[in-house]
């Protein structure tokens, strides 16, 4: 059975299909590469933001030796 030109047997999520329906294979690849870069940037920035949102650990108070009275 011949496949129609422009038909892709892979099922995309509906929101993505609306955007990519008329894209050529080259355009799909270019957009996928861009989205992969954006994905990495978003993941790294989320980790950084989460670390910044955490309170800094409290440093323990310095432990001083007990004061000894003079003899």
Domain residue ranges of the chain, discontinuous segments joined by +: 22-53
Read off the tokens for 15: 């929101």
pLDDT tier for residue 54 given thresholds of 50, 70 and 90:
confident
Q: Tell me: the pLDDT tens digits for 2-46?
A: 656 666 788 999 999 999 999 999 999 999 999 999 999 999 999
Distance CA 21, CA 15 (A): 10
Question: Is 66 a residue whose pLDDT tops 90?
Answer: no
Burial 22-55 (b: 16+ CB within 10 A, else e): eeeeeeeeeeeeeeeeeeeeeeeeeeeeeeeeee
As a whole number of angstroms, the distance between CA 9 and CA 17 comes to 12
């Amino acid at each position: 059975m011949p496949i129609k030109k422009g038909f892709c047997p892979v099922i995309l999520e509906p929101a993505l299909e609306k955007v990519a329906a008329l894209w050529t294979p080259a355009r799909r690849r270019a957009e996928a590469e861009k989205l992969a870069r954006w994905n990495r940037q978003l993941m790294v920035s989320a980790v950084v933001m989460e670390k910044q949102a955490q309170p800094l650990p409290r440093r323990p108070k310095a432990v001083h030796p007990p004061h000894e009275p003079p003899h």
